[in-house]
Amino acid sequence: MTPRAREAIETADIVVGYTTYINLITELIDHKKIIGTAMMQEVERCQMAVDEAAKGNKVAVVSSGDPGIYGMAGLVLELAMKLPESTRPKVTIVPGISAVGASAAILGAPLMHDFAVISLSDLLTPWDLIKKRAEMAAAGDFVIAIYNPKSKKRVTQIEEVRQIVLKHRDSSTPVGIVHHASRSGENMTISDLGNFTKEHIDMFSLVIIGNSQTYVQDGRMITPRGYHV
């Protein structure tokens, strides 16, 4: 969380968010009105936030990491734009620290060159399209960061992606897995493309697959940018 994000939460009249994220910031939101909803209620939650803001309230919509990266920023803007300009609340996107950025720092410097970020959640994106994106990123030798790699119901997709990337990269390619980046319980593992799916991976994990130049030294994952060292 950035200082600016913390200030936005602390000065808000109402805090809106996914219940799991709300529970992470309870010490900041005592005595505030809280609107928390479960997973799969994003539209309803953001609509309530926009409605409250249109009444003149200062509303903070809490979204994990950076709200513009797999967060609620786009949905809030879409809903706000449906209101007449005369009643449309001002929407300010407060950037945060994304899971991919936080995880990269924990692993070392794996994102020093071009990279692609792909979510394996197929709730809103067809799985065939996700696989196509993984294939193109692998063929282009991008470092690949994977959000939502595995859940209780979605267990085979990460292995399918591993097989896709193996068509283009050596099995020894470094792969980093970070759990709970920048939160309590943070830990990381560095494995390789041949074996990383044997490690513990869940929805609180972020996976970074190196490109053809990525290497590991002294427990740090490094993707050279091309400087002559």
Answer yes or no: is 92 within a domain.
Answer: no
Residue 99 CA neighbour count, 13 Å, CB half: 28
Measured distance between the N- and C-terminal CA atoms of the chain, rounded to whole angstroms? 34
**Is the same domain home to 18 and 123?**
no
Q: CATH number, domain at 128?
A: 3.30.950.10
Instruction: Please tell me whether residues 165 and 217 are part of one structural domain.
Output: yes
**Residue 88 resides in a domain:** no
Q: What are phi and psi of 64, to 5 degrees?
A: -65, 140
Cα 71 from chain centre: 8
What pLDDT, on the 0 to 100 scale, is given for residue 144?
98
What CATH number corresponds to the domain at position 21? 3.40.1010.10
Q: Average pLDDT by consecutive 10-residue portion of the chain (229 residues)?
A: 95 95 91 89 96 97 93 97 96 96 98 98 96 98 98 95 98 98 95 98 97 98 93
Range of the domain at 24: 3-81
Are 62 and 109 within one domain?
A: no
Q: Are 75 and 147 within one domain? A: no
pLDDT, position 103: 98
Single out the residue in 17, 50, 81 at which a domain terminates. 81
Give the per-residue pLDDT at 38: 84
Decide if 127 contacts 164 (C-beta within 8 A).
no
Q: Residue 2's pLDDT is what?
A: 94
Q: Specify whether 120 is located in the same domain as 75.
A: no
pLDDT of residue 39: 80
